[in-house]
Structure 1
Amino acid sequence: MTSEERDKDFVWHPFTPDQPWRDPAHRLPVIVRGEGPYLWDEEGKRYWDGNSAIWTNLHGHRHPRLVAAVRDQLERIDHVSFLGLTHPWGAELAERLSRIAAGESGPRYRTFFSDDGATAIEAAVKIVWQFFQQNGQPQRDLFLCLAESYHGDTVGAMSVAQSRFHRLFEPLRFPSVPIQAPACYRCPFNRAAAGRKDARQGRRCSWECVRVLEEALDRHGHRLAALWIEPKVQAAAGMWMHPEGYLRELDRLCRERGIFWIADEVFTGFGRLGSWLACEREGVFPDLLCLAKGLTGGMMPLAATLVREEIYAGFTGGKNRAFLHGHSYTANPIGCAAALASLAVFEEEEVFERIARHAELLSTLSQRFWRHPRVGDVRQEGLVLAVELVERQADRSSFPKEREVGFRVCERARAYGLLTRPIGDVLVLVPPFCVSADDLAGMVGALERALWEELP
């Protein structure tokens, strides 16, 4: 029995329908090796990793610095409980994360470690809830979130989001209040000529989305525990990208009303947009900050929930005020060592300079997508590219779901050496930071070729 046959007989893949994946005629790539931006299957075919191993891999596969850090850590210790114990790697990483989040002028943050993005979100939900319950404001039991927001798939993470992926599980969720997302292309007030390359520049925006936010804060403020946001880019929504200034306005409105806001930077953190954090781009400091995915450069599962010191102070004073939450692999030393090595790569290999150069190139390369009559929007932040396909440009109408246009385009791109996965009918490229200019051109070329072949 081959690996592919075993997989089709015994494995259940996430977010993957049974068909066509288990069709005997469908070939499932069996990946056996990775190096830099490339993956190889067992037949020796090389691919570009166009989604960075589901957005986790930063510096390319098997970066020597990260591999060495993991090997060295295994010679020291594999795992140790973090319940009442500590280790140097967890303590150092917590300090480094606080300094990254706070910059030169921000607050001190405490770090609560966990395993992945959803567990970082769950921790934040429970931190905020317990804070208000034991600090005299039990009426604050409501969360505010953006339309089509996604924060993970555990029950708490689903409850503070409004993603189409979670509608089946609606009865399991506790209530939260969704508001309009500041996604320009899908904005109901968008007055631009649809389908034009200059649509975003041409729209006459009156910041209606900010007014909607302000009204929601005023309406629910007495009950609000916190507002959730994926700053700058709502990834799972379809790489919805927020206009410059929205995050600053959100911070201002929350500060004026004394309302906590939580930044989910599981996707945007660690260079994706060209800076350490998306919040850094607009000079704001959230009350809580959730990190995962790229935290270890894609080497190991590790997550972190950063909390302002004044919130942490609400848990001091004895056992009956301790945070009642934890994970078996909290602050795993191997994961912490990999994360510290990843931060060192940023600082010693001029990664941000490389991201800036590649982002400029990607902006130039991506303009070719506007030539296609079924492209409604092309949007980019840093090394994140999204190409939204529509049935008609004039009214931004979507294709019928059963046509699976985005899936078919990405399947076709695989024949040209590109592995990526769409979000609905939004084609997405999220390459590792180590790509060369030729690699980037090859990825864009493969996606464009597949698009024209599937939608001539």
Structure 2
Amino acid sequence: MQRSEVVALDKRHVWHPYTPMDEYIARTDPLVVVGAEGPYLFDADGTRYLDANGSWWVSTLGHRHPRLVRALTEQAGAFPHTSLAGVTHAPAARLAAELVALAPGADRAGLPEAERLSRVFYSDNGSTAVEVAIKMAAQYWAQNGRPARTRFITLSGAFHGETIGATSVGGVEVFRDVFGPLLFDVVHVPSPAEPAGWERALAQVEATLRAHPDEIAAVILEPLIQGAAGMHVYAPAFLRAVREATRAVDTFLIADEVFTGLGRTGARFACDLADVVPDLLCLAKALSGGLMPFAATLATERVFSGFAGGSERALYYGHSYCGNPLGAAVAREVLAVYRDEDVLGQVARKAPRVKAAFERMAADIPGVTRPRALGLVGAVDLGGGGYLARAGWRVYEAARRRGLYLRPLGDTVYVAPALNIPDAALDELLAGVEASLREVAHAGG
């Protein structure tokens, strides 16, 4: 099939995510991907692109890692799917044990058993992993003596997914305002990444918990990096202080590590950088290495025990593909690759280069501000227009001409490549971002 035929069919029938479709149909020449390997995507026109965002942050081991492909193929040859209702299988059972062994606090001596992340509930994407956590928290309190605990505290600029519950606890206005009548009430506090400092955000969290201790089911946040808000980075001290604030009123902390989990920040989990063990932990994206839609929500033994008893106390929630054997088998191999290829060590070695490059860009290029980096995330801003701003898209076009797929967040230009990106490819990526920013700055933004 010719490239032009694919584009014609696409523009006639496909509705793209996060895309003004009139503009797309009229003017966009999309990438038509026909192959992918390592950090690269290959267009039908023969162009090779460096995938600067890991295809929306999922391909942390690059595209088509041979060990992941082999694990997927072998499991498909055995059985590709069965429900997890009254059924179990080795991939799901073994993966759960491995996740529990890796979870924040797993190696902390003296941590009470009730506070350990010891139970794993499977779903199929980050939004549903968060939805599971929301329902677990709300139902726990409803049937364990605190039924008025139905509200959640979340951060300004938060992004937790696309389902109605996950949208409710989000804080990016353009993603949630139109759905306002459908969303449940939450308490938004300032982002700890705002210039006023995380102390102001913490003061509002603490004040809300003190004023309404019988209403708050949980505080939910993205540990250390608010991704969709524009790669906003905040201090581990804020996360530690929020954990203590929730303990003071005995309510839950939900850590949404869909983006940050499994190495993105340089630690196994972002919570580890703050030495925090949440009550519920949400995982997806990196968990299946970009091969399968797959997710997990980890819960402490205390949360799990709150559902013990008669059938009316069960968590009546699930998905047809809950615990899908293909996803579980691939996820187990992802964890094995992390061990065997020292992926966290690779991040530690590469992260200083990302940080230095983005600081240099902000120092040397007019109009480029607020450099920030953590692990293999680097970002700068080109203005203050937010997600709907267009400055970043001019950089996107300049980068595409250089063979980079560099999708911005409005006026935020960032990279979040594969964690095992080869050194030469990382150098090419950082140089290409810098050259693209200079081109746009020279042209007047």
Judge conservation of contact 1:354–1:433 (CA < 8 Å) in 2.
yes
TM-score by length of 2: 0.94
Structure 1 unmatched ranges of 5 or more = 191-204, 391-397
| Partner residue in 2 for 1:361 | 353
1:228 and 2:214 aligned: no
Judge conservation of contact 1:365–1:441 (CA < 8 Å) in 2.
no
1:7 and 2:10 aligned: yes
Judge conservation of contact 1:409–1:454 (CA < 8 Å) in 2.
yes
| Partner residue in 1 for 2:149 | 140
Could you tell me how far apart the structure 1 residues matched to 2:388 and 2:422 are? 36
- Residue 414 of structure 2, aligned match among 411, 428, 431: 428
Cα deviation, residue 455, structure 1: 2.5
1:16 and 2:29 aligned: no
Cα deviation, residue 161, structure 1: 1.9
SS in 2 for 1:334: helix
| Partner residue in 1 for 2:130 | 121
Structure 2 unmatched ranges of 5 or more = none
Could you tell me how far apart the structure 1 residues matched to 2:388 and 2:352 are? 36
Cα deviation, residue 216, structure 1: 1.9
- Residue 412 of structure 1, aligned match among 398, 405, 409: 398
Judge conservation of contact 1:37–1:432 (CA < 8 Å) in 2.
yes
Aligned-residue RMSD, C-alpha = 1.5
| Partner residue in 2 for 1:445 | 431
Could you tell me how far apart the structure 1 residues matched to 2:102 and 2:320 are? 26
- Report the AA paired with residue 321 of structure 1: R
| Partner residue in 1 for 2:170 | 161
SS in 2 for 1:177: strand
Cα deviation, residue 19, structure 1: 4.1
Cα deviation, residue 316, structure 1: 1.1
| Partner residue in 1 for 2:61 | 59
| Partner residue in 2 for 1:99 | 101
Q: How many residues align?
A: 430
Alignment map for 1:41-440 (pairs within 5 Å): 41-101=43-103, 102-105=105-108, 106=111, 107-164=116-173, 165-183=175-193, 186-187=194-195, 189=196, 207-370=199-362, 371-390=364-383, 398-399=384-385, 404-440=390-426
Judge conservation of contact 1:49–1:431 (CA < 8 Å) in 2.
yes
Task: Identify if the C-alpha distance between structure 1 residues 252 and 10 changes in structure 2 by more than 3 Å, giving closer, same or farther.
Answer: same
Could you tell me how far apart the structure 2 residues matched to 1:411 and 1:33 are? 21
- Report the AA paired with residue 56 of structure 1: V
Cα deviation, residue 254, structure 1: 1.1
SS in 1 for 2:181: helix
Task: Identify if the C-alpha distance between structure 1 residues 308 and 399 changes in structure 2 by more than 3 Å, giving closer, same or farther.
Answer: closer
SS in 2 for 1:359: helix
Q: Cα deviations across residues 38-77 of structure 1 (Å, max 9, x unaligned)? A: 1100111100000001000111111111011001101111
Q: Cα deviations across residues 208-261 of structure 1 (Å, max 9, x unaligned)? A: 332222112212222111110100001011111112311111111111221111
SS in 2 for 1:294: helix
The alignment-based identity, stated in percent, is 40
TM-score by length of 1: 0.91
Larger deviation: 375-384 or 437-446? 437-446
- Report the AA paired with residue 124 of structure 1: A
- Report the AA paired with residue 8 of structure 2: E
